[in-house]
Structure 1
């Protein structure tokens, strides 16, 4: 896999390290990015399931009153 170097504010990286409990800045930031991506995939899966369920609902036509 290709590697990318990114410059980040030191305070931001320290905050990520504290929140994740990881002592290595590279690992801490990578953990946060991977978690963000996984959450996105879970959200997509939930919304796709809900959308699919809405599409499969059979709607009976209304009786015409008059």
Structure 2
């Protein structure tokens, strides 16, 4: 996998390290990025299921009103 070097504010990285409970700045930032990506995938999956349910509800024949 290709590597990328990014400059970040030291205070920001230290705070991430503390919150993540990790001693390495590299590991801490990688955990945050992986978590962000995983959250995005979970959100997409929930949204897709919700939209699919709405489509199925719209596709059902409606009972006559009146």
Match of 2:31 in 1: 31
Higher alpha-carbon Rg: 1
Whole-Å Cα distance in 1 between the matches of residues 5 and 42 of structure 2?
27
TM-score w.r.t. structure 1 length? 0.90
Whole-Å Cα distance in 1 between the matches of residues 43 and 5 of structure 2?
28
Whole-Å Cα distance in 2 between the matches of residues 13 and 2 of structure 1?
21
More helix by share: 2
Where structure 2 has 5 or more consecutive residues not aligned to the other structure, the ranges are none
Aligned positions, number? 64
Find the residue that maps to 1:6 and give its secondary structure: coil
Runs of 4+ deviating beyond 6 Å: none
TM-score w.r.t. structure 2 length? 0.90
